[in-house]
Amino acid sequence: MKAMRALIAILCLLGLLGSTTASAQTSKDWITGLPREPIPVKAWPGGKKVAVAFVFYVEVWGHGQGPNFRPDMTARNPDVVDEAFRQYAIEWGVPRVGRLFRDQAVPLSIALNAQFPEQNAGIWKQFRALVPKAPIVAHGLNNSTDLLPLSQGLEAQKAYIKRTLDMLQQSTGERPKGWSSPSVYPDAATFTATAAEGLTYSLDGMDSDVLSRLVTPAGPLVLIPYPAPTVDMGQYLSRLKEPVDLERFWIDYVGELAREAAADPARPATVVAIGIHPFVVGTPGGAASFRRVLEALKKQPLVWLTDTNEVMKAAGENR
């Protein structure tokens, strides 16, 4: 009996027998139905246990399209108030956030609509000069009239994603490695289409605290957690939270992950991609609140402020 147990142990060490724990961890993704595997990370660089990647959404909407600050005015033509709300975010909010991250020396990731650099060339040039090392995450063509063609099948989505990547490479000189669906509106086929076009990670997975790998028919796709409650736009426009409310929420959210890690060092390292928008953190009041967030998180000994590409590299997924 002892000899049999010893043989089983040796076979497990050699990888010839599957681990029941590992097989139990592999699950079926609830959106796609595809296998989903955990990516175990014991610690991030420097022994940190919580990776935080702020993702700044740089988007175009078009006249009469996009988020509204005053829903009671949307029937007006022109709707001067809501058009100004959106245009202020582009012309003043985007550069302000760039200056904030430059001044704080905190890494940033940019989720970029492919039409933005063409339609707002001067603003893009100004913003990019402020954060020249920030990786670009492909975010579709625009955020209103040119979304993913979900009703047209896998091949149409692949073509859309390829067009997005080609346009971004042409206008920025960088071909993104990551994807975030415009208007947060993918479907099950989007994940396979994303992998098929050579992208290695997606922010469309919103249901975890740890990295995972989706096994698509086109190849593996890493899901970097992008939890819905942490995104500023939903909190601001739908739940009527002010930047100062988000300040407290973000500090508490990340702080609790750090507290859990300190209480149980054996826990896997966690990661959160937090979506921010110029409508919220790009106003003077929003920037003031967000500056305090960055200053607070930089003091957390277990928190690693990073970008999405560095998360992939640290996890050994930098394909």
Write the CATH number for 201. Answer: 3.20.20.370
Token pair for 203:
């922010």
Which pLDDT band, with edges at 50, 70 and 90, does 81 fall under?
very high
Mean pLDDT value of segment 180-204? 98
Distance of CA 158 to the CA centre of its chain: 20
Q: Which residue has the tokens 């992208």?
A: 199
Mean pLDDT value of segment 76-100? 96
Q: Is residue 22 part of a domain?
A: no
What secondary structure letter does DSSP report for 238?
A: I
Positive or negative, the CA dihedral 238, 241, 246, 250 is: negative
- Quick check: 8 pLDDT over 50? no
- Quick check: 275 pLDDT over 60? yes
- Look at residue 11 in the predicted model and tell me its pLDDT: 35
- Look at residue 66 in the predicted model and tell me its pLDDT: 87
Q: Is residue 206 part of a domain?
A: yes
User: Are β-strands 212-216 and 219-223 bridged in parallel, bridged antiparallel, or unpaired?
Assistant: antiparallel
What's the whole-model pTM score? Answer: 0.91
Q: If you write DSSP's letter for every residue of 193-209 in order, what string do you get?
A: HHHHTT--EES---S-S
Mean pLDDT value of segment 240-259? 98
- Quick check: 3 pLDDT over 80? no
Per DSSP, which regions of the chain are E strands?
27-28, 35-38, 50-58, 109-112, 136-138, 178-179, 201-202, 212-216, 219-223, 270-276, 303-306
- Look at residue 21 in the predicted model and tell me its pLDDT: 35
- Quick check: 88 pLDDT over 80? yes
User: Are β-strands 201-202 and 178-179 bridged in parallel, bridged antiparallel, or unpaired?
Assistant: parallel
- Quick check: 13 pLDDT over 80? no
- Look at residue 252 in the predicted model and tell me its pLDDT: 98
Q: Is residue 99 part of a domain?
A: yes
Please answer whether residues 214 and 221 qualify as being in contact, where contact means their C-beta atoms are separated by less than 8 angstroms. Answer: yes
- Quick check: 116 pLDDT over 70? yes
Q: Is 90 helix (H, G, I), strand (E, B) or coil?
A: helix
For residue 123, what are the domain limits? 36-314
- Quick check: 204 pLDDT over 50? yes
Helix runs in 147-271, H state only: 154-172, 188-196, 232-233, 243-263
- Look at residue 15 in the predicted model and tell me its pLDDT: 38
24-77 confidence digits (pLDDT tens): 488 999 999 999 999 999 999 999 999 999 999 999 998 888 889 999 998 998
Q: Is residue 166 part of a domain?
A: yes
Which pLDDT band, with edges at 50, 70 and 90, does 318 fall under?
confident
| Overall domain count for the chain | 1
Please answer whether residues 131 and 95 qualify as being in contact, where contact means their C-beta atoms are separated by less than 8 angstroms. Answer: no
Burial class (CB in 10 A: 0-12, 13-18, 19+), 304: buried
Please answer whether residues 82 and 69 qualify as being in contact, where contact means their C-beta atoms are separated by less than 8 angstroms. Answer: yes
Smallest CA-to-CA distance from 35 within 225, 213, 223 is with 213
Mean pLDDT value of segment 261-265? 98
Q: Could you give the percent of the chain with pLDDT greater than 90?
A: 88
Q: Is residue 196 part of a domain?
A: yes
- Look at residue 63 in the predicted model and tell me its pLDDT: 86
294-315 confidence digits (pLDDT tens): 999 999 999 999 999 999 999 9
Distance CA 216, CA 153 (A): 16
Q: What angle do CA 123, 89, 101 make, to 5 degrees?
A: 70
Q: Is residue 7 part of a domain?
A: no
Longest dimension (CA), the chain: 83
Mean pLDDT value of segment 108-135? 98
- Look at residue 4 in the predicted model and tell me its pLDDT: 39
Please answer whether residues 249 and 296 qualify as being in contact, where contact means their C-beta atoms are separated by less than 8 angstroms. Answer: no
Distance CA 134, CA 197 (A): 22
Q: In Å, how far are 50, 56, 262, 299 from 42, measured between CA atoms?
A: 10, 27, 13, 21
Q: Is residue 5 part of a domain?
A: no
Q: Is residue 227 part of a domain?
A: yes
Distance CA 112, CA 301 (A): 31
- Look at residue 64 in the predicted model and tell me its pLDDT: 87
Backbone angles phi, psi at 193, to 5 degrees: -65, -40
Mean pLDDT value of segment 82-99? 97
- Quick check: 225 pLDDT over 60? yes
Q: In Å, how far are 19, 150, 181, 252 from 185, measured between CA atoms?
A: 36, 9, 6, 28
The per-residue pLDDT of the chain, averaged, comes to: 92
- Look at residue 7 in the predicted model and tell me its pLDDT: 39
- Look at residue 249 in the predicted model and tell me its pLDDT: 98
